[in-house]
Chains A and B, each alone.
Chain A
């Protein structure tokens, strides 16, 4: 049973560019959440998608946008990249509003902005 799959694993971008990260949820999961983890820090919640809509959002600027497809996979796009966007981006999938034991996380995409 495949877990959460993220692509690419590593990425280097230049300031001002935009980037799109991809996530395929665990089989049977229909909710996808994105987290940003700066080096040496804990993950911070960006947003969550369910039924192709953004259901919750953390304290991130509008430069961070997302999308969920009918097959539940998701994309995170960051526009106008800045050096501070360098981080590990984690995708997590789950079943919504159930007594679940948290999320299933992917291994992340390491984004470096130069």
Chain B
């Protein structure tokens, strides 16, 4: 069975600090897909990134970066120079296919950026 663990329930940092959100996953599939979503107070889940299991290249998008390591089954998310607008709940998720198949979510990390 697939499982995603986000051990950090809540993180609080001061604005402009860097912060890393951890994600550890379990799956027996050799091909799988990892996602990060952001959930602001309004409730909708906002897609941030998708990664497939055969591409371990790290990715950077502005202040966001992702570190995928198959050897440790981890897909960590780093926000550089955090801003108050980054405050939200962040979810890591796993899917067995790239398309519209079911996502298995972690329990989420509530990130608070204090001014």
A residues neighboring B (CB under 8 Å) = 3-4, 31, 33, 35, 40-45, 48, 56, 58, 88, 90, 92, 94-108, 110
Contacts and interface: CB of A to CB of B under 8 A. Distances in A.
Interface of B: 4, 6, 35, 37, 42-47, 50, 91, 93, 95, 97-108
A107 B100 contact: no
A87 to B, nearest CB: 12
Report whether over half of chain A's contact residues are helix, strand or loop; otherwise say mixed: loop
Contacts of A88: 43
Given A90-B45, A102-B50, A43 B91 contact: yes
Given A102-B47, A107-B42, A45 B102 contact: yes
B91 A42 contact: yes
Contacts of A45: 102-104
Contacts of B47: 101-104
A95 B44 contact: no
A5 to B, nearest CB: 11
Contacts of B101: 48, 56
A100 B98 contact: yes
Given A98-B99, A103-B100, A110-B43, 6 more contacts: A3-B44, A42-B93, A58-B102, A95-B99, A96-B99, A105-B37
Contacts of B37: 102, 105
A3 B47 CA distance: 13
B100 A33 contact: yes
A108 B100 contact: no
B45 A97 contact: no
A100 B33 CA distance: 11
A40 B10 CA distance: 11
